[in-house]
Amino acid sequence: MTDAHESLDEVDRLVAAWRTERPDLDVEPLQVLSRVSRLAKHLDRARRAAFAEHDLEPWEFDVLTALRRAGKPYELSPGALLRATLVTSGTMTNRIDRLAQAGLVRRRPDPEDRRGVLVTLTDTGLQRVDSAFSGLLRREHDLLAGLDEPHQRALAALLRTLLAPFDAGSSN
């Protein structure tokens, strides 16, 4: 049931229809998870638009932000990039090759491991990822504009609680 000050949304209509058609089922999870799913679609669109403004694909943004978060000198081993982006080694090699061809990263020998390499953001890569990240945050702020700061913090805490068992299971 919604509060008097809230208006009905598409999920309310969906839940009401299922309650009518399948009164034998508890459709209450739809109240949360259908909204999360719909929000994820809006977030995906916002992310893709923010990246496209800076001529980046989502996978490029993922690799570049992993390097950016590493701090100066903005470099990681390919293995560390694998762990940060959760892709296979073949996929990562291909991604590093493509980013290097685009001038966004460069490889250099690892001074502590003669057989290893380090992947480093170029100045162009650093500028591009910083601009794309700023654009993404502007869009994400817009997505959350309907919630004041205390509500945003409360929602973040609830989602953290909900996700914690899944995140713990994926690290095994």
pLDDT of residue 5: 53
The pLDDT tens digits of the residues spanning 95-129 come to 999 999 999 999 999 998 888 999 999 999 999 99
| Model confidence, pTM | 0.82
Report the Cα–Cα distance between both ends of the chain, in Å, rounded.
39
Report phi then psi at 120, rounded to 5.
Answer: -125, 140
The pLDDT tens digits of the residues spanning 36-67 come to 999 999 999 999 999 999 999 999 999 999 99
Q: What is the mean pLDDT of the chain?
A: 92
CATH architecture of 53-169: Orthogonal Bundle (1.10)
Calculate mean pLDDT across residues 129-150: 96
Confidence of residue 4 (pLDDT cuts 50, 70, 90): very low
CA 77 vs. chain centroid, Å, equals 21
Tokens coding 160 = 């953290």
| 120, 125, 156 from 88: Cα distances, Å | 19, 22, 30
Closest to 74 measured CA to CA, from 48, 35, 38, 106 = 106
| 61, 76, 124, 135, 136 from 131: Cα distances, Å | 11, 21, 11, 6, 9
pLDDT of residue 2: 47
What residue ranges do the domains of the chain occupy? Answer: 53-169
Confidence of residue 30 (pLDDT cuts 50, 70, 90): very high
Tokens coding 92 = 């990562």
For the chain, what percent of residues have pLDDT higher than 90?
Answer: 83
Would you call the peptide bond into 150 cis, given omega within 30 degrees of 0 as the criterion?
no
pLDDT of residue 114: 84
CA distance 95 to 127: 19
